Chain A
Amino acid sequence: MPKPDSLQGSLDLLVLKILSRRPRLHGYAIMSAIQDMSGDVLRAEEGSLYPALHRMEEAGWIRAEWITKDTGRRARLYELTAAGKKQLAAEESRWQAVTAAVNRVLRMA
């Protein structure tokens, strides 16, 4: 059963945004980046990160590549594709619209 996700609906947006700023990250680094940049407020559900990454890869928004690091350890690095950039723009404006609407409601009520 899927656990309640504190980032419901916004995980894709965060991942895309982070990959647009810092290309070629592996899963753990993406997760840490979300945590760090949000000042520890947002914490990506680790369990939902990988299915989400694979789903986005399938959709063609990001692409992945296995590399071997200097330490000899392998890592799967993700980066944004052209389609992903478009998707990011769309999701970002959608997010702005939603938050603006929520804020408006909060002010009015």
Chain B
Amino acid sequence: MSWWRRIANVFCADRLSREIDEELRLHIEEAIEQGRDPAEARRALGPALRLREESLNVRLITWLDSLRADAVFGWRQLMKRKVTSAAAILSLALGIGACTSAFRLVDALLLRPLPIAEPERLYALFRQGIGPDGRYRISESNEYPLFRQMRAAVKDQAELIAVSYASRTDLTYGSDGEMEKAYRQYVSGWMFSSFGLRPTLGRLLTENDDLKPGAHPYAVLSYDYWATRFGRDPKVIGRTFRIGNDLYQIVGVGPKRFTGTEPGTIIDIFLPTMMNPGVTHSDWSWFRTFVKLKPGVAAEPVRERLTAPFQAFQEERAKGFIGAPKQRVEDFLHQKLLLEPAATGVSPMKEDYRTSLAALGVLVALVLLIACANVANLMTAQAAAQAREMALRVSIGAGRRRLAQLVLVQSAGSHWWRPPSAGCLPVGPRHSSSA
């Protein structure tokens, strides 16, 4: 018989007992019909109650039956103490709800890896040193001519990817009268293939879209932008829009979960870096540099290799600092390169909110702890009130396991009450064998 039938049997235990009783009764009747003495026949069969229990035990899973009894009893207890139960349920719901929301925030901003291939091999390039204002700083901006030299210097060990800061820009799909806003980001054409991303529609940018300054007016939309702005219209491919004086053609839509490398900001439009006028300027710092290490390559040697072109570039630039204070030139030349893991992306929000999010996390954890303590108190009070009943149960032969099961089912019952929005359902008590 299937498990399902057995579980169903638990809920019709009464009918089963009746059937077994009837079968035994028919046996006696048959015996009497055969001319046997009724008393003798009954004695031969044995005590009907024991037989019935024995058969019932086979046909039901005993613990399942007791579980049902406990659930019913627990429900009655809950109903008996409505206020206490409601308080317990409410405080747990609030605590868990707060924890879940806080965790979602922390996860989205700080913990979740970017939805790209091998995010653990992604690093971000920083430079640290004394800034022009005389203060120590870590900067992430880079200049494109330097970026090119750096990329060439480590091309066997790593791929360098330029990703500009997200900027909110005006654009129009029609006339100037229909201007709208969108988050735009200039990225290296090879970023998509290096991240292992596949287009939802059309094609993504490639290295060939990022060769000559101003020569590649192509754009890739992010999935979210495509869904909200165009209602997932497949005819969007080939449409054009205008930013300032530049006319861009939409060539594709990005993958569903990729919203850029900046947690907290959802990029709408990706453009090739070559479309940014900054690519020819040695003194424009306008993008972040990501380093995707090739398999089996460590970060430190790559950083060292990057240092040589960096120093040469800085010295070249320092020659232009005519009339600048000596100290400032010194500081400028003494900046160092850093490679930091960037599996979860790089975003100014991360730095700004890291401490406050940590504080929030601790706070909600405390709230949950307090809620748990509350519930524990309530449960203890209930247990004290149930002391007599427990003693009675022990005296008529309930084992420890059985009592523990009773209490667990009761508390699980109060947990199932929690609103689904408060998080996942609790796992009920599990018994591997019969109790």
Choice from A27, A55, A58 contacting B27 with Cβ under 8 Å: A27
Is A26's CB under 8 angstroms from B1's CB? no
Interface bracket on A? 20 to 34
B48-71 residues at the A interface, CB under 8 angstroms: 50-51, 54-55, 58-59
With known contacts A28-B31, A58-B1, A50–B55 Cβ distance under 8 A: yes
- B22 an interface residue at 8 Å Cβ cutoff? yes
With known contacts A27-B23, A58-B59, A47–B30 Cβ distance under 8 A: no
Is B55's CB under 8 angstroms from A26's CB? no
Which residues of chain B have C-beta atoms less than 8 A from A75's C-beta?
Answer: 26
B interface residues, tally (CB under 8 Å):
21
Query: How distant is B50 from chain A, measured CB to nearest CB, in Å?
Result: 8
Is A46's CB under 8 angstroms from B58's CB? no
- A74 an interface residue at 8 Å Cβ cutoff? yes
The docked-state distance in angstroms from the alpha carbon of A3 to that of B44 is 11
Choice from B19, B51, B58 contacting A55 with Cβ under 8 Å: B58
- B323 an interface residue at 8 Å Cβ cutoff? no
- A60 an interface residue at 8 Å Cβ cutoff? yes
Choice from A28, A47, A74 contacting B46 with Cβ under 8 Å: A47
* Interface residues of A, dominant DSSP: helix
- B24 an interface residue at 8 Å Cβ cutoff? yes
- B45 an interface residue at 8 Å Cβ cutoff? yes
Taken residue by residue from 271 to 303, chain B's Cβ proximity to chain A (1 for < 8 Å, 0 otherwise) reads as 000000000000000000000000000000000
Is A46's CB under 8 angstroms from B26's CB? no
- B94 an interface residue at 8 Å Cβ cutoff? no
A12-29 residues at the B interface, CB under 8 angstroms: 26-29
Closest B residue to A76 using CB positions = B23
Query: How distant is A92 from chain B, measured CB to nearest CB, in Å?
Result: 24
Which residues of chain B have C-beta atoms less than 8 A from A28's C-beta?
Answer: 26-27, 30-31, 34
Closest A residue to B28 using CB positions = A28
The docked-state distance in angstroms from the alpha carbon of A55 to that of B45 is 17
The docked-state distance in angstroms from the alpha carbon of A57 to that of B46 is 21
The docked-state distance in angstroms from the alpha carbon of A57 to that of B9 is 14
Closest 9 CB pairs of A and B: A47-B46, A28-B30, A54-B55, A51-B54, A46-B45, A46-B44, A54-B58, A76-B23, A55-B58
A-B contacts, 14 of them at CB < 8 A, read: A27-B23, A27-B27, A28-B26, A28-B27, A28-B31, A28-B34, A32-B34, A47-B46, A47-B50, A50-B23, A51-B58, A54-B58, A54-B59, A58-B1
